[in-house]
Amino acid sequence: MHIFAFDPEDYRDQYQQQGWAHIRGGIDPEFLAELQRVGRDLAHVEKLDRFAIKGKKEQALYEFPVSTRYPDEIFDAVASVCGLERDSMTLSERHIQLYEPDASPHPQAHKDRFPSQVSVGLSIAIPEQSRLVLYPYDCRELNPFNAAAALIRHLQPNELPEVVLRDAREVEIADRPGDVVMFGGSTTWHLRRHAAGAINLYVKLNDFDCDPLGEDPRTAVRREHTLETLAAANGGPLDGVTVKVSRRLDSIARRLTLGDLQEVLEASLYGSEPFGITAAQLRLLRGAREAKPLDRLVEEMGTNGRSREDAFADATRLLELGALDVLAEA
């Protein structure tokens, strides 16, 4: 079964020039029928209650049928239309969104979480009066947080979307079931008007190895490989491995303790309690934003007043905690 029914070449210029693309009838008819079946019967998908925002929408993780060429067909299409690096394409979300009957007809605009370099909406059931509204020509700063709501919480009153978008040019898309819309989700303010009853499949992608929610099938495979590598080394040296910051890393924070307001460092993976890290370990994480051999990482970032052994021990701890991962050899 195909997922899409369009030639990416036909939409590449549109996306490059205007920062979004509306692909009328872009979903393959057979796949659309499958999505509509799932939409009608959300019992077939696992409900993720922790995502539910009351009065707005329910979200459920969507499992693609095994008969689709998932995720490669999506990677091929989005890399081509949006100009992303095909080799490093990463899926960061695949949720069916079901807007509740009491969803606000005029919600506040939001920007999707940081990993949503491209947000792809597949329209399943769209009420006649519902519209997807994008602001692709103004205020395109990146949401650096791993949640839409976190960006809103960090804005000052004069930076809120309802203030900065007052004179912005809006694009109102009257999408219909079967349509596909692609836009820069983490950089574009957007909202859905008259959303009550609408059902969409949203897939979010990037080409920089970021999948905090762990929804790309290859993210778990990478973690598995890391744990196998650690087990095989059995406390000995990790020879010749290439490491990178984990796809699941959610945040790194400086926190002030109660009482004497001492600064401590902590990191967290999505959905897990934070763990303390040292300044030396933070240097390793900074250095591992790009994939590199562990030996070189330690050389460049680690030693800084510490022994090589200590730096390797720091790296090993970050691998164990899941802040770093070992990449499989190409």
Query: What are the residues binding Fe ion (CB under 5 A)?
Result: 112
Residue 119 or 246 with smaller CB distance to Fe ion: 119
Q: Is there a contact between 41 and 55 (Cβ–Cβ < 8 Å)? A: no
The burial class, CB within 10 Å (0-12 / 13-18 / 19+), for 303 is middle
Residue 23 or 109 with smaller CB distance to Fe ion: 109
The DSSP bridge partners found for residue 104 are: none
Report in angstroms how near the CB of residue 184 gets to Fe ion at its nearest.
11
Report in angstroms how near the CB of residue 190 gets to Fe ion at its nearest.
6
311's tokens:
């730096």
Q: Is there a contact between 151 and 186 (Cβ–Cβ < 8 Å)? A: no
Report in angstroms how near the CB of residue 110 gets to Fe ion at its nearest.
6
**What is the rounded distance in angstroms from the CA atom of residue 310 to the CA atom of residue 317?**
10
Residue 65 or 144 with smaller CB distance to Fe ion: 144
Torsion, Cα of 40, 45, 48, 54 (10° steps): 0
**What is the rounded distance in angstroms from the CA atom of residue 32 to the CA atom of residue 24?**
13
Q: Is there a contact between 74 and 8 (Cβ–Cβ < 8 Å)? A: no
Report in angstroms how near the CB of residue 320 gets to Fe ion at its nearest.
35
Report in angstroms how near the CB of residue 198 gets to Fe ion at its nearest.
12
Residue 54 or 254 with smaller CB distance to Fe ion: 54
Q: Name the residue whose CB lies closest to Fe ion.
A: 112
Residue 34 or 112 with smaller CB distance to Fe ion: 112
